[in-house]
Amino acid sequence: MSKFAQTSSGLFVPSNYVGSRTYEGARQTRHRKWMPTIAKDTNKTITPWVRTTLLSHGRNMYANSGLVGGAIDDVGRYMIGDDGVQPEPLTDDPAYNAEVKERWRNWCLIADYRRKLHLNKIAQLSSTSPDVDGDFFINLTETGGGNERGGMAQIQCIRGHRIGDAVGSAACDTNDGVLEDRTGITVSYRLIDGENRDQFTDLPARSVVQVMDAIFSDQPRGLSAIARGINQIFDAREATQFELEALKNNSARSLVIKTPTGEVPDDVLDDELNAGNGIDDLTLEEIQSGEILRLGPGEEIQDVSNTRPGNNFVPYMEFNFRDFACGYGVPLEVIWKSDLGGPSQRFFLSKFQRRINARLALVTIPIFYRRIYIYWLAKEIKRKALPFRPDWYKVAFQPTSPKITIDIGREAQQDREDILLGTRTLSEDAGERGKDWREIRNQSEKETEDLIDRAQRLAEKKKISFEVALSLLSRRTPNGNLPQSEPAPVPANRPV
């Protein structure tokens, strides 16, 4: 392909010149800063140095910025909810499903091989850690050795900095800790020793869960989710520090006495106040309330006005915070601004809810929960704790995090009306509340049978109608009144 193109006037110019005339964004001019042209695979742009640097900056921002740390924690907290994401086995045996769920709840207490974290807390870390570090790893292992029974599933949490190339040229044969074959399939992950950086262990890919919110299809490692806004948060922190120093300096000076010569007579100075103050060019005086100042000829007293921070400080900070929030994918109005009306709040909360739902549907459930659940259940079947079934692997996952809203009462009332009209299903309603509609039906059936049995016993014991006994045990009328007994039928031969 020729590197030159002929214009309509017959001149030969570089072919990229013709394209840049069509697309101004590709044009390099002296009016803008030069930007390099880089079009390479992700492993050439997200290098180990770039990833580690952003990981370090991300941890600094998470630890020292309330805005950054709070936003990241909110995403993980609202996504996992109070009871995590619950599996719903879908085998044909209800008793088997109930036993699996009970065993899962008990196993969540001891899932961490260190016995320190509940599985729901690890699930929350699987959201916050990738946002800070770029990725988060789970090593699927099992118990065994010592006094522990072998074969029970266990998980080991591995932070992002522990996966990488070990120190030494002979050990740097991976793609930033990820060993891939010629087709790009991951074969193993390199776990670096925490004490000796030149020691490592290669973990097979089938036993490792890598949790990351990928932005490119070919990236082997994750990138910190706050990478787009790190500079803006740094700028905001430095501006706040400088403004704080200026505010303290201005607040330390109240009045200034201006003299024609700039000199102060020795008889008006407080020797003790000025002794050893470490200031070479300034002299200090102090005044007390109620004192009358007597100025000499030509002297003038001036007030030192405090104008820091200026009027543009808050808009500047908001600009930086909004830049960070847009890059992170969370509306700034959710994590900072609260002076909004109802419609605006609902709009921004819906955007935040979509952020939570997308993370659940694309990362947390398919990558974290499903991998761990299948591994745990397979281990339970292998060690004969549960019987084998051909459909043992069938499962659905139900989040327990409630919908984010400012109108809980109104929306709950509308949901009830939609269910009565048939425009809203019980499955949809139960799912938003973190429940399984089958369990609700089963529990409702048990409670109804128990209520009917009790009402029948009460009616026979107290010689009252079944309807009255039922109403005494549970409200079954709209206004709570006892049902009226039906009038006796009128005989057919009775005159009217």
- Model confidence pLDDT, tens digit, residues 16-40: 555 556 777 777 777 878 777 788 8
**pLDDT on residue 49:** 92
Instruction: Check whether residue 208 and residue 258 sit in a common domain.
Output: no
The contacts of residue 127 (CB under 8 Å, 6+ apart) are: 75, 76, 79, 80, 359, 364
Does 412 map to a domain? no
Note the pLDDT tens digit of each residue in 213-245: 988 888 899 999 999 999 999 999 988 888 888
**pLDDT on residue 289:** 58
**pLDDT on residue 479:** 58
pLDDT at 138 exceeding the cut of 70: yes
pLDDT at 114 exceeding the cut of 70: yes
pLDDT at 390 exceeding the cut of 60: yes
Out of 25-29, 177-181, 306-310, 413-417, pick the least confident.
Answer: 306-310
| Percent of the chain with pLDDT strictly greater than 90 | 32
Instruction: Check whether residue 237 and residue 252 sit in a common domain.
Output: no
Instruction: Check whether residue 164 and residue 202 sit in a common domain.
Output: yes
Instruction: Check whether residue 332 and residue 358 sit in a common domain.
Output: yes
> Chain-wide mean pLDDT for the chain?
81
**pLDDT on residue 96:** 94
What integer is the mean pLDDT of 128-144?
Answer: 92
Q: Report residue 86 CA to chain centroid gap.
A: 19
> Would you call the peptide bond into 309 cis, given omega within 30 degrees of 0 as the criterion?
yes
Does 496 map to a domain? no
**pLDDT on residue 489:** 58
pLDDT at 371 exceeding the cut of 60: yes
What integer is the mean pLDDT of 388-414?
Answer: 82
Q: Structurally, how many domains does the chain consist of?
A: 4
Higher pLDDT, 404 or 327: 327
Instruction: Check whether residue 190 and residue 126 sit in a common domain.
Output: yes
Out of 179-183, 234-238, 254-258, 396-400, pick the least confident.
Answer: 254-258
Out of 79-88, 98-107, 467-476, pick the least confident.
Answer: 467-476
**pLDDT on residue 342:** 76
Instruction: Check whether residue 332 and residue 370 sit in a common domain.
Output: yes
Does 413 map to a domain? no
Instruction: Check whether residue 130 and residue 94 sit in a common domain.
Output: yes
Instruction: Check whether residue 199 and residue 310 sit in a common domain.
Output: no
Instruction: Check whether residue 276 and residue 373 sit in a common domain.
Output: no
**pLDDT on residue 56:** 94
Instruction: Check whether residue 184 and residue 301 sit in a common domain.
Output: no
What integer is the mean pLDDT of 424-432?
Answer: 76
Does 427 map to a domain? no
**pLDDT on residue 125:** 94
**pLDDT on residue 2:** 57
Out of 63-77, 316-330, 415-429, 474-488, pick the least confident.
Answer: 474-488
User: What's the pTM value of the predicted model, to 2 decimals?
Assistant: 0.75
Does 480 map to a domain? no
Higher pLDDT, 391 or 421: 391
What integer is the mean pLDDT of 431-447?
Answer: 79
What integer is the mean pLDDT of 161-171?
Answer: 77
**pLDDT on residue 221:** 92
Does 433 map to a domain? no
What integer is the mean pLDDT of 244-273?
Answer: 67
Provide the residue range defining the domain that includes 454: 440-473
pLDDT at 184 exceeding the cut of 90: no
Instruction: Check whether residue 68 and residue 31 sit in a common domain.
Output: no
Final residue before a domain boundary, out of 287, 314, 341: 314
**pLDDT on residue 280:** 52
pLDDT at 179 exceeding the cut of 80: yes
pLDDT at 135 exceeding the cut of 90: yes
**pLDDT on residue 343:** 79
**pLDDT on residue 364:** 92
**pLDDT on residue 481:** 58
What integer is the mean pLDDT of 58-77?
Answer: 92
What integer is the mean pLDDT of 347-360?
Answer: 88
Does 99 map to a domain? yes
Does 328 map to a domain? yes
**pLDDT on residue 32:** 79
What integer is the mean pLDDT of 256-281?
Answer: 59
Higher pLDDT, 234 or 427: 234
**pLDDT on residue 275:** 57
Instruction: Check whether residue 154 and residue 291 sit in a common domain.
Output: no
Final residue before a domain boundary, out of 272, 289, 314: 314
